[in-house]
Structure 1
């Protein structure tokens, strides 16, 4: 079980890096405004919850990777011993997006719900979470294959 959690956590870090690339591309295209991880951290820092604060960018990135790693560990706990289909991972990534950006984030009044967000950001965030889920699945599946038992029927070419 611990090995599966670690595989998922490592996969979550890799998946967060790839999804962050999508988010940065969306930012460069002018679709994002402030990055959501930065806005979330800002809301919990002392002072006005909507005003920029010193260190929020770095703290936002760190917490984004921590959250991605934790979500990856949960995925690894379920799928660490078997190969998950990529659509399952994509659905998992989209579920994280929906629960966060249609659920707890607007409930805490950090950002509006998806339907009321700025034009363009929901599409970028959905795409980023699709990339997260696909990358997470590929990473966990790859680590499961390389650390799984060798022998007949295991998929290991050593037989």
Structure 2
């Protein structure tokens, strides 16, 4: 299988992993551990009007689409990087942690009003790390299943 085929598998696995991550986030949201999420803040910022604090019509759908697209895209990169081999769970966990680190210590604070992870509320930061570990584990598991 070539790089494009591996990336396509990764994108599909990324969607499956986003389902798992979304479940973890929904549970955390129900417990009050997560407030604003970057997909919603990004959508609020980039929709007409450009203010993160003001709700916009259609923002929930747009934020979900952004999250699913990011999950599929990150999965495609992982799929291509693993080169058609079934990835181990530890590699997926590391990748999920890497996605969190690059996002929450990198680009997310630069384009939203969110603080970097090291300055975020400890409970929220821990929840976001956990959700990304769920993503990485589920991503590796889904790709392993596809590639066997």
TM-score, normalising length: structure 2? 0.92
> Distance in 1 between the 2:137 and 2:112 partners?
29
Give yes or no for the alignment of 1:35 onto 2:37.
yes
The CA deviation string for residues 19-40 of structure 1, in whole angstroms up to 9 with x for no partner, is: 0111111110011112322112
Larger RCO, structure (CA 8 Å, separation 6 or more): 2
Which of the two has greater helix per residue?
Answer: 2
The CA deviation string for residues 89-138 of structure 1, in whole angstroms up to 9 with x for no partner, is: 11101111111111001122431111222342111111110000000001
The answer (yes or no) to whether the contact 2:16–2:139 under 8 Å persists in 1 is: yes
> What is the number of equivalent residue pairs in this alignment?
145
The answer (yes or no) to whether the contact 1:80–1:144 under 8 Å persists in 2 is: no
The answer (yes or no) to whether the contact 2:18–2:68 under 8 Å persists in 1 is: yes
Partner of 2:97: 94
Partner of 1:53: 56
CA RMSD of superposed structures (Å): 1.3
1:4 to 3, 6, 9: 6
Q: Which moved more, 1:54-63 or 1:116-125?
A: 116-125
Structure 2 segments unaligned to the other structure (5+ residues): none
The answer (yes or no) to whether the contact 1:7–1:80 under 8 Å persists in 2 is: no
4+ residue stretches of structure 1 with deviation over 6 A? Answer: none
Residue 14 of structure 1 deviates from its aligned partner by: 0.3
Partner of 1:152: none
1:26 to 2, 5, 28: 28
TM-score, normalising length: structure 1? 0.86
